[in-house]
């Protein structure tokens, strides 16, 4: 089904208007005049627009239509009238190739051009052949551009044609089509294509996929059998999955279109198609698409939805952030493919099929599950995004937000749960709790954003686990819930109150009670909280010496006592250990209580209107305790 969906995408978007040619980035155009005169080498690269003013994008090459060639193996093989410098000119910009290898590759390229000239007598090809022979013998000096890279592609323009590549000249195009046709007809069909259902000769090598994170610059294969361990029933290599050349090229073209950050439009040169991928980790990407053009608005909004960018989200889909899916059920098909690159091949981490309507409904639920009160202050410029960006969620489970250490399996599980509406991976909870302990003392703006993201992930994982298995804890709400009686949640709240009392007594200290005891308190509370409560009494007494703060500290002490009194000494008081779920609730209790304690007057009034059934101490304004 996956390859068939890619095959259909190639047909629906007309990505292969001419099966014998394809769009490729050509960095350098070699202009050749009559008689093989070299007129110059032009750079086609340009600086694309960037969404981030801090990140300067790298130059990218302009796309041109060139003859479709299969990927190269470890052996030498030249392309037809376009290629890298080591084949076109026998020169290696890196200086690593041996002279004998370069000479062999230059000759392979020249032989292909001469074969075309012999068959077509085309004056453009004749000029290219003359120029190549003169440069090879030194009659016409040639120097590679200083900024030329080893994998940059060169192509030719015959000067009278102005801007048309030599490979687009009528006789050359017909010659290449004949070469491809003869190659396809060389063998009789031996199998039925698994994609198109037509008789075929199975393609020996699938076209390479570019832009697969973690893959090689030359591309990786989606379907390959390079070891006997992958073969069955005596079939060799790709006979294990017979696919015709036409289907393999269509599938590869479609997937390369999905993987590209700015895919070129083969039907409108110079134009690009909408982006259809999200980068999850350093080696993982998810591609998404639909066969129905009516789903274009949703697909165009998907990137902005995950990144929390209102400017990129259409009005209809702004409601998804508040949990309101579109009223009408859209039955357009929706596909998502998650890929990683490793060991020269593409690894399929996940394949998902559904409808746009179902995915929109699941996305709305996803944002509700992640909705969490934030402790991150407003940035100096702009506002916080209305939802936590996907990047922030993923970076929150990596050490200090390092993207190259984000677990690919968890990233795939997160995006899969968003699309499917199913449980989030339990590993997200474990990683979030671990990182919360390790980074609790970090208080820079980026650290606070990761705290918000970790709390959101923990809330989402726990609430979905509870809905599936009816877990022994209450549903976690967005704000601090004074009626949540889970022991882990209560203990997290208690620690936040103790921390605030210490701050009132000692102001800033090198290591607060949270810095020193958060990890132990969240795992083995009984061994920690007895000492913390005793010390908090001394801190409260010291803080009350300042009459301006006395009422506020008294109010904090009453809240502390209200929470502590919920642990009955007859039941052994504080628990000796907390389970993983309870440790997650501990993090949430601390996070929400800490934010609650720093609410302003308007925020507290709004909260009290939502929790009119809260214990009286929470409905009493702190200012009233002073009077």
pLDDT of 50-71, one tens digit each? 656 566 788 899 999 999 998 7
pLDDT digits (tens, 9 = 90+) for 171-196: 999 999 999 988 877 777 778 999 99
Domain annotation covers residue 475: no
561 and 435, same domain (yes or no): no
- Enclosing domain of residue 119: 2-259
Model confidence, pTM: 0.87
Q: Per mean pLDDT, which range of 10-14, 165-169, 344-348, 372-376 is the poorest?
A: 344-348
Q: Does pLDDT of 391 surpass 60?
A: yes
Q: How many domains does the chain have?
A: 3
Are 149 and 178 contained in the same domain?
A: yes
Q: And the tokens for 409?
A: 């399996």
Determine, yes or no, domain membership for 472. Answer: no
Q: In what order do the strands lie in the sheet with 277-281?
A: 277-281, 284-289, 333-342, 345-355
Whether residue 352 is found in the same domain as residue 435: yes
* Residues 442 and 511 both lie in one domain: no
Confidence at 423, pLDDT banded by 50, 70, 90 = very high
Q: Given this model, what pLDDT does residue 620 score?
A: 75
Q: Are residues 345 and 418 in the same domain?
A: yes
Running DSSP on this structure, what letter comes out for residue 60? B
Domain boundary among 466, 497, 513: 466
Write the CA distances from 532 to 480, 517, 535, 549, integer angstroms.
22, 9, 5, 21
Buried b (16+ CB within 10 A) or exposed e, 190-215: ebebbbbeeebbbbebbbbbbbbbbb
Of 194, 192, 195, 193, nearest in space to 4 by CA: 195
Do both 298 and 428 map to the same domain?
yes
Q: Measure the N-to-C terminal CA separation of the chain; round to a whole number of Å.
A: 72
State residue 516's pLDDT score. Answer: 92
Residues 516, 392 share a domain: no
In which element (H, E) is residue 38 found?
Answer: strand 37-43
Residue 64 in 3-state DSSP?
A: strand
Residues 346 and 393 grouped into a single domain: yes
Residue 49 resides in a domain: yes
In-domain check, residue 271? no
Task: State the pLDDT at residue 4.
Answer: 94
Window from 345-354, 369-378, 565-574, 593-602 with minimum mean pLDDT: 565-574
Determine contact, residues 237/225, Cβ cutoff 8 Å. yes
| Same-domain pairing of 503 and 387 | no
Question: Domain check: are 393 and 452 in the same one?
Answer: yes
Q: What is the C-alpha separation between 527 and 519, in angstroms, rounded?
A: 12
Confirm whether 525 is domain-assigned. Answer: yes
- Which pLDDT belongs to residue 626? 42
Q: Given pLDDT bands bounded at 50, 70 and 90, which one contains residue 33?
A: very high
Which of 439, 466, 493 is at the close of a domain? 466
Q: Which residues contact 499 (CB under 8 A, 6 or more apart)?
A: 512, 513, 514, 594
Q: What is the pLDDT of residue 234?
A: 62
DSSP string, 337-389: EEEEEETTEEEEEEEEEEEHHHHHHHHHHHHHHH-----PPPPSSS---SS--
Q: Of 424, 443, 466, which residue is a domain's last?
A: 466
Say whether both 215 and 90 belong to one domain: yes
Name the DSSP letter for residue 353: E
Whether residue 267 lies inside any domain: the answer is no
- Contact 30/155 with Cβ under 8 angstroms? yes
Compute the radius of gyration of the chain from its Cα atoms: 32
So what's the pLDDT on residue 624?
Answer: 47
| d(C-alpha 485, C-alpha 417), whole Å | 28
Assess whether 435 and 331 both reside in one domain.
yes
Inform me whether the pLDDT recorded for 625 exceeds 60: no
Calculate the alpha carbon distances from 378 to 384, 394, 446 in Å: 6, 21, 12
* 269 in a structural domain: no
**Whether the Cβ atoms of residue 306 and residue 390 lie closer than 8 Å to each other:** yes
Q: Which of 200, 69, 85 is nearest to 132 (CA)?
A: 85
Least confident piece of the model among 238-247, 369-378, 468-477: 468-477
Q: Among all chains, which residue has been given the structure tokens 């009408």?
A: 328
The answer to the question of residue 272 being in a domain is no
Q: How confident is the model at residue 569 (pLDDT cuts 50, 70, 90)?
A: low
What gap in Å lies between CA 338 and CA 345, rounded to an integer?
14
Q: Which two tokens stand for residue 164?
A: 């048309």
């Amino acid at each position: 089904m996956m390859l068939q969906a890619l095959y259909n995408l190639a047909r629906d978007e007309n990505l292969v208007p001419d099966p014998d040619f394809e769009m490729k980035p050509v960095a350098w155009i070699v202009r050749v005049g009559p008689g093989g005169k070299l007129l110059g080498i032009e750079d086609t690269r340009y600086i694309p627009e960037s969404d981030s003013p801090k990140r300067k994008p790298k130059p990218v090459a302009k796309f041109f239509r060139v003859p479709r060639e299969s990927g190269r193996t470890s052996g030498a093989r030249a392309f037809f009238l376009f290629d890298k410098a080591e084949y076109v000119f026998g020169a290696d910009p890196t200086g690593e190739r041996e002279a004998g290898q370069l000479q062999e590759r230059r000759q392979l390229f020249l032989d292909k051009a001469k074969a075309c000239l012999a068959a077509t007598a085309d004056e453009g090809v004749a000029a290219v052949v003359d120029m190549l022979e003169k440069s090879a013998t030194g009659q016409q000096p040639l120097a590679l551009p200083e900024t030329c890279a080893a994998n940059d592609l060169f192509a030719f323009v015959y000067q009278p044609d102005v801007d048309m590549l030599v490979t687009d000249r009528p006789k050359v195009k017909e010659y290449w089509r004949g070469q491809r046709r003869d190659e396809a007809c060389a063998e009789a069909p031996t199998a039925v294509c698994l994609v198109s259902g037509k008789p075929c000769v199975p393609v020996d090598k699938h076209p390479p996929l570019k832009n697969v994170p973690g893959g090689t610059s030359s591309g990786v294969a989606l379907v390959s059998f390079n070891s006997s361990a992958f073969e069955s029933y005596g079939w060799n290599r790709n006979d294990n999955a017979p696919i015709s050349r036409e289907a393999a090229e269509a599938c590869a073209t479609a997937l390369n279109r999905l993987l590209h950050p700015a895919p070129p439009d083969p039907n409108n040169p110079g134009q690009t198609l909408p982006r259809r991928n999200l980068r999850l980790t350093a080696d993982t990407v998810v591609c998404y698409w639909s066969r129905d053009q009516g789903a274009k608005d949703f697909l165009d909004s998907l990137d902005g939805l995950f990144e929390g960018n209102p400017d990129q989200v259409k009005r209809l889909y702004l409601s998804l952030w508040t949990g309101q899916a579109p009223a009408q059920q859209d039955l357009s098909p929706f596909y998502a493919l998650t890929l990683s690159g490793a060991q020269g091949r593409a690894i399929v981490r996940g394949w998902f099929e559904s409808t746009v309507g179902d995915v929109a409904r699941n996305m709305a639920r996803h944002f509700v599950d992640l909705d969490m009160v934030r402790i991150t202050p407003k940035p100096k410029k702009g506002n916080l995004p209305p939802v936590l960006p996907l990047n922030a969620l993923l970076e929150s489970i990596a050490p200090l937000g390092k993207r190259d250490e984000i677990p690919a399996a968890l990233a795939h599980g997160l995006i899969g749960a968003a699309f499917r509406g199913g449980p989030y991976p339990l590993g997200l909870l474990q990683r979030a709790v671990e990182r919360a302990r390790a980074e609790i003392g970090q208080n820079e703006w980026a650290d606070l954003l990761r705290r918000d993201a970790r709390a959101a992930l923990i809330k989402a994982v726990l609430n979905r686990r509870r809905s599936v298995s009816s877990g022994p804890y209450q549903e976690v709400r967005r704000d601090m819930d004074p009626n949540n009686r889970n022991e882990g949640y209560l203990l997290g709240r208690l620690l936040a109150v103790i921390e605030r009392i210490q701050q009132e007594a000692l102001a800033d200290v090198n290591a607060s009670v949270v810095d020193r005891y958060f990890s132990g308190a969240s795992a083995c509370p009984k061994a920690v909280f007895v000492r913390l409560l005793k010390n908090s009494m001394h801190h409260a007494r010291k803080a009350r010496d300042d009459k301006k703060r006395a009422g506020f500290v008294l109010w904090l002490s009453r809240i502390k006592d209200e929470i502590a009194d919920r642990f009955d000494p007859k039941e052994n008081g504080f628990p000796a250990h907390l389970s993983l779920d309870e440790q997650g609730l501990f993090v949430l209790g601390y996070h929400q209580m800490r934010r609650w304690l720093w609410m302003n007057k308007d925020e507290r009034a709004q909260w009290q209107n939502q929790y009119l059934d809260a214990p009286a101490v929470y409905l009493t304004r702190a200012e009233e305790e002073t009077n």
